Amino acid sequence: MTEVVATNETILVVGGGISGMTAALEAAETGKKVVLVEKRPYLGGRVSQLYKYFPKLCHPTCGLEINQRRAKMNPNLTIVTMAEVTNIEGEAGAYTATVKLSPRYVNDNCTGCGDCARAVEAEFDDEYNYGMSKRKGAYLPHVMAHPMQYVIDPRIVGSDDGQKAKAACKYDAVDLDMQEREIKFPAGAVIWATGWQPYDAAKIQPYGYDRFDNVITNVEFERMADPKGPTGGKIVRKDGKEAKNVAFIQCAGSRDRNHLYHCSRICCMASLKQTHYVVDAYEDAKVTIYYIDIRAIDRFEDFYQTVKAMDNVTFVKSKVANVITDKEGNPICRGVDTEGYHRYENTHDLVVLATGMEPSVAKGDFPVDIVINREGFIEPDAANGGVFAAGSASDALDVNRAVQHATGAALKAIQVVNRVARAEA
C-alpha cells in the first residue's frame, strides 16, 4: 500500500471526486505536496457515474481522462484509496490526520489483467450502477477506474471464491490477509471535498420509489443512458418495456422541509439533459417535466429554451402530489397544474425522480471542528482554521461551479502551507 510521506507543508485533500481531484491537482501542479484520500477504491466520484454533462452534452469521462492522466504523471501527488479520514487534530499549519485504510485485498502488484474476476463466481450488486446490475466478487469498479487495480469484495474473503481469486493471480497481488489499519500523518492545510450523495428517494413516500419498479431516480436513469451501464444504454424498464413516455419529477426531496431545505441546483439541468436522452432514443418519445421553478441558471438558460421548444416535451408547473400505478405497472402522476388550475392524472412508462444532493458527511459526523449550516454544508468561516471546503461539501453545486470552487480552495490551502514554509525558512 502507498506510503504516505507528509509534513506540515503537505496539503491533505479529503475526497477524490471532481472537486477533490481538482483541488489536489491544482495544488500539486503548483509544486505542493498533496495527499488525496478517497473512500471509494477509485477516483472521480459521482462524475465517473455520469454519462453526459449539461449543457454541452459532452462526456464527463473525457475530462476525467485528462484529470487522471494529470494524477498519474504528477510526482507531488499521493493518492490513497479506500481510506477515510477519521480524525483531524491541531491547527492551521500543524494538523495531524488519522486515516482508516480499508483492505482492498489486492496490492500494487495488480496489473489489472482480470484473472481474479474470471476465477470468482459470487456476484454482488454493482455500486457503480447503483445496484442495477451485478458485478463479480473480484472486480474492477469500472473500465476507467484509477488506480486500475481490482478489488476483492470483503464478502468473499473467507470463502472458496476468495481462495480462487488468490490462486488465479499470477502476480501475488491478491492478499487476503490484509487488515484494516490506521495511519497518522501531518498536514498544514486540509481541503474538505467529500461531495454529495443522492437523497434517499425511498424517503419521499408519495412517489413510491420503494414500492414501484418504474419509479427510479435521476442517478439511476443516468446509468441507464450510458452504453457502459446496466442496460447497455437502452432506456428501458425493468420489465423490458421501452420507456418512451417519461416523466421527470423535479424537487424530489429538494426545497422541502420534509427532506432537504435547499434547492439542489443541478436537478433542473439534469432533467433537461436527460430529456435529450429520451428524445434521442425514441422518435415517438414523450417527456413531461413537473416542476416548481425551472432553474437553468445564467449561461444554461438557452439549454432550457432548446428543450422547451421541443414538440414532444411538456412542462407542467406542479409538484406532483403522488404517484400510483395501474395494473400494468405504469406509473401515474397525480396533481394539479398550478398555471390556471388543471387537475391531471397522467400515465407514463417511467417516472424519474430528480433527487437532490445531500452532503455526504452527516452533520454530526465531521471528524474536525467545522462550521456548517442547517443543510449540513460547510460555511466559510475563520473558525475553520486551515480547513477549507471544496465543491459540493460547501453547497449544492454543478460540476463547473464545483471545479471553480475547488480551484479557489487549493489557493486557500497553499496560502497556509506557504506561511508554514516562510516560517520555517
Note whether 173 and 106 are within 8 A (CB). yes
Bridge partner list, 217? 353
Residue 299 sits in the site that holds other proteins (CB under 8 A):
yes
Choose which of 74, 96, 197, 314 interacts with other proteins (CB under 8 A): 74
Q: Is 17 helix (H, G, I), strand (E, B) or coil?
A: strand
Choose which of 97, 251, 350, 361 interacts with other proteins (CB under 8 A): 251
Piece of 36-44, 130-138, 178-186, 256-264 that binds other proteins (CB under 8 A): 256-264
Choose which of 33, 136, 244, 319 interacts with other proteins (CB under 8 A): 319
Q: Could you give the string, one character per residue 331-370, with x where binding to other proteins holds by CB under 8 A and - elsewhere?
A: ---xxxxxxxx-x-------------------x-------
In the range 192-221, which residues lie near other proteins by CB under 8 A? 205-206, 208, 210-211
Piece of 69-77, 89-97, 153-161, 235-243 that binds other proteins (CB under 8 A): 69-77
Interface with other proteins (CB under 8 A), residue total 106
Q: Could you give the string, one character per residue 102-141, with x where binding to other proteins holds by CB under 8 A and - elsewhere?
A: -------x-xxx----------------------------
Least distance to other proteins from the beta carbon of 403, Å?
A: 6
DSSP letters spanning 322-348: EEEE-TT--EEEEEEETTTTEEEEEE-
Pick between residue 6 and residue 396 the one whose CB is nearest to other proteins.
Answer: 396
Q: Which secondary-structure segment (H or E) carries 357? A: strand 357-359
Piece of 130-138, 175-183, 235-243, 262-270 that binds other proteins (CB under 8 A): 262-270
Least distance to other proteins from the beta carbon of 339, Å?
A: 5
Alpha helices per DSSP H over 29-159: 60-73, 115-119
Residue 281 to residue 244: CA distance in whole angstroms: 8
Alpha helices per DSSP H over 144-239: 160-168, 218-225
Residue 234 sits in the site that holds other proteins (CB under 8 A):
no
Residue 73 sits in the site that holds other proteins (CB under 8 A):
yes
Note whether 218 and 352 are within 8 A (CB). yes
- Please count the CA atoms within 13 angstroms of the CA of 390 that sit on its side-chain side: 34
Residue 200 to residue 64: CA distance in whole angstroms: 26
Copy the grid coordinates of residue 348: 407514463
Residue 305 sits in the site that holds other proteins (CB under 8 A):
yes
Residue 101 sits in the site that holds other proteins (CB under 8 A):
no
In the range 17-56, which residues lie near other proteins by CB under 8 A? 26, 29-31, 51, 53, 56
Pairing relationship of beta strands 151-152 and 138-139 according to DSSP bridges: antiparallel
Q: At what angle do helices 266-281 and 301-308 cross, to 10 degrees?
A: 40
127, exposed or middle or buried, with CB in 10 Å at 0-12, 13-18, 19+? middle
- Of 145, 195, 197, the residue nearest 20 (C-alpha): 195
Piece of 87-95, 178-186, 279-287, 407-415 that binds other proteins (CB under 8 A): 407-415
Pick between residue 58 and residue 310 the one whose CB is nearest to other proteins.
Answer: 58
